[in-house]
Amino acid sequence: MHNSFFDHSLDAASIRLRVREVMSGKVGFYSVGLYPASLAYNCAMQNEAGRLLLAARPGRQLLGAFAHDVVESMDPDHVERVLDMGTHRVSGERVPNTLQDLILRCEVVVLSANSNHVEEDLLEACRLREELGREQVVLACLAGSFNHDPITNTAYVLCEKQPNLAFFSGFHRHGALRNPFDSFTANFCHPNALTAMLGAQLLDQLSPNIQVAAGVHNVEGQYIKAAKNMASVFAGFGYGFHQDNPGVLPTLLTLLLNQCLDQAATVSMARPDRQRLYHRQPFPLTELGYAVPRIESTLVRDGDFERVRDHTFSQLTAMVADVRGSMMLPVSGNPTRNFQAGQVMAEAMRDQGRCPHSMEELDQWCEAAGLRKGALEGLKSLRYWPQIARKYAIPANDASMVNLLYMALYGRPAVKDTAYRVMTDSRELSSYCQESVRPSHSRRYADALQNLDVPEALDLVVNAVIADNARRAMRGEMNLDESASNPEPSYLQLMEAIESQLDG
């Protein structure tokens, strides 16, 4: 998919005209939803409504994502401006904008549907661009969940499947964008640095309260958002269940944040366009604000250094802030919907004394609490987690918290019982946080068994047998009653279950 503000012309005069055209252009949000409608209200407050256009999906209302009482509390003049953004006049009558209207009138169109609709919207937008002769309109998405192909039964990050698709994201609270004095940050990412810079500048002009920075990591940015939505569920659970045990929360939240970024770093290494991302840009990435164009971590394996992941996220400040903010209770207003789902889960698990029997039961708990299933992207992403972990070869020690949450919802009954004990006992949970981040060596031994002709591999197995025999001998000296009274801790049992079911 070609997705650029420019065609292939080499004519300086036409390019100069096009740059001015883009910088004076408009931004459109299609499908709308809570974030675009809140952003529109912010623009209306700042008298910048002319740069933003909206188009609701057929059957949706521009302000339909807000509760009725919230709409009633809004300023009528600001609401009128928002409605003007989503309509145009035909013979004096107000007519709703469509996706076609946005492509005709805007230079950037953000497809703001969630993962249920964004792929079909992207196909329709590409068709309309070609049909209307507007191929230089740049398309972006907001979706923060993994997509799934039911035919091949595979899950993926949409921006990896469509590598030139832009990604726009930032942090906001419910209702906070309606505060005329608050400010917000966001990232506009596109693998071409020039497209990213122009798009970010265009979005930055929407409101003086919004600061948008450019970045090239669209795949990583979308992955961070999907991982953040899952982490936010766990954070909500942590606050809900362990509110009287605040000692475990800093460890839990730190690990959730670090693992989101570590997973995205591993995904970055898998990008097929990685060399082009860093070496074939129209100008150096430092011009976008990257302190270092590329930061790679290494791991020692058998005495050799091996490159394992890319940590070049210095420009994704807004997305990292989104991760942090989504895992915190706000000073005022409500936490994110995924965080609220975790709170609901904590309350129900305390009442029931168990994990949910199924994801469907958790969906019912959330619906009963007023959380719509379609808005909980974190729970949807969790459905496809094993496929994502395998696709991108994400190490278990970089995903231990998501693995724990997955087992609590999708594990076998016995595993769920163990997960419940780990999640609800602060000592077990803190021990799990401490131990589960250690790299697993099971694959190393499996590889050794297949290469016994290599002396080092055979030595590794021999040493493991000696260690196992020594441990057995020590256990043999213990009283059987004493051994039975000291069973393996729940967090170790769970780590073994995760390694056998999810790791590899």
Closest CA to 488 of 389, 421, 399: 421
Pair of tokens at residue 272: 């097929």
Say which residue, 504 or 214, is predicted with more confidence: 214
Band (161; pLDDT cuts 50, 70, 90): very high
Q: What mean pLDDT do residues 439-462 have?
A: 70
Rounded CA gap, 467 and 150, in Å?
A: 46
Q: Looking at 37-41, 108-112, 135-139, 373-377, which range is the least confident one?
A: 373-377
Indicate whether 84 pLDDT > 70.
yes
Where does a domain end: 169, 192, 223? Answer: 223
- Give the structural domain span for 86: 12-223
| Mean predicted confidence (pLDDT) in 302-316 | 76
SS3 318: helix
Pair (133, 44) in one structural domain = yes
How high is the pLDDT of residue 482? Answer: 47
Tokens of 369: 């609490």
pLDDT for position 306: 65
Candidate ranges 287-291, 368-372, 382-386; pick with highest mean pLDDT: 382-386
188 in Cβ contact with 159 (< 8 Å): no
Of 418, 438, 458, the residue that ends a domain is: 438
**Which of the listed ranges 301-315, 325-339, 397-411, 455-469 does the model predict with the highest average pLDDT?**
397-411
Q: What are phi and psi of 147, to 5 degrees?
A: -95, 160
pLDDT at 483: 46
Per the CB < 8 A criterion, the answer to whether 421 and 490 are in contact is: yes
96, with CB counted inside 10 A (0-12, 13-18, 19+), is middle
Same domain, 192 and 237: no
Q: What is the mean pLDDT of residues 29-44?
A: 88
Instruction: Pull the structure tokens for residue 204.
Output: 């930055």
The residue among 195, 223, 251 that closes a domain is: 223
Same domain, 272 and 153: no
Q: Which helix (H) or strand (E) holds 140?
A: strand 138-141
Question: What's the whole-number mean pLDDT along residues 350-373?
Answer: 94
Indicate whether 486 pLDDT > 70: no
Quick check: 361 pLDDT over 70? yes
Give SS3 for 150. Answer: coil
pLDDT band at 492 (very low <50, low <70, confident <90, very high): confident
What ranges make up the beta strands (E) of 266-372?
296-301, 304-310
- Look up tokens 């188009």; give the residue: 55
Q: 457 lies in a domain?
A: no
Within-domain flag for 483:
no
Spatial distance between the Cα atoms of 393 and 502, rounded to a whole number of angstroms: 11
Q: In this structure, are 61 and 209 located in the same domain?
A: yes
- Residue 251 scores a pLDDT above 50: yes
For all residues of the chain together, what is the average pLDDT? 88
Residues 158, 252 share a domain = no
Element (H, E) at 151: none
User: Residue 462 domain-assigned?
Assistant: no
pLDDT value at 480 more than 50: no
* Token pair listed for 241: 């269940």
pTM of the predicted model, to two decimals? 0.88
Q: What is the pLDDT of residues 388-441, one digit of tens each?
A: 999 998 988 899 999 999 999 999 999 999 999 999 999 999 999 988 887 754
Query: In the β-sheet with 184-189, what is the strand arrangement from edge to edge?
Result: 52-56, 27-31, 108-111, 138-141, 166-170, 184-189, 210-215
Measured CA to CA, the distance from residue 311 to residue 100 in angstroms comes to: 39
446 in any annotated domain? no
Per the domain annotation, does 459 fall within a domain?
Answer: no
122 burial via Cβ count (<10 Å: 0-12, 13-18, 19+):
buried
* H-only helix segments in 27-111: 34-45, 68-73, 76-85, 99-105
Per-residue model confidence as pLDDT tens digits over 270-303: 999 998 999 999 999 999 989 887 888 876 555 5
CATH number of the domain that residue 84 is part of? 3.40.50.720
Q: How many CB atoms lie within 10 A of CB 333?
A: 12
* 195 and 239 inside one domain: no
Residue 149 backbone phi and psi in degrees, to 5: -100, 110
Residue 485: alpha-carbon gap to chain centroid:
43
- Residue 469 CA: distances (Å) to CA of 291, 351, 452, 476, 485: 52, 45, 20, 10, 22
Say if residue 231 is in the same domain as residue 218.
no
Check if the beta carbon of residue 439 is closer than 8 Å to that of residue 499.
Answer: no
Which range is least confidently modeled, 40-44, 251-255, 479-483, 499-503? 479-483
Distance, CA of 420 to CA of 408 (rounded, Å) = 7
* pLDDT tens track for 170-194: 766 656 677 777 888 999 999 999 9
Q: Are residues 256 and 379 in the same domain?
A: yes
Say what percent of the chain tops pLDDT 70. 91
Average pLDDT, stretch 432-459? Answer: 73
> Considering its fold, how many domains does the chain have in total?
2
Beta strand 87-90 pairing with 93-96: antiparallel
Nearest to 395 by CA among 305, 289, 297: 297
**Which residues on adjacent β-strands are paired with residue 56?**
31
Structural domain contains residue 153 = yes
Is pLDDT at 59 greater than 90 in this prediction?
no
Answer yes or no: is pLDDT of 476 > 70. Answer: no
Q: Do 188 and 277 fall into the same domain? A: no
CB proximity list for 88: less than 8 A, separation 6 or greater: 94, 95, 97, 101
What is the Cα–Cα distance from 154 to 151, expressed in whole angstroms?
A: 8
At 238, which amino acid appears? G
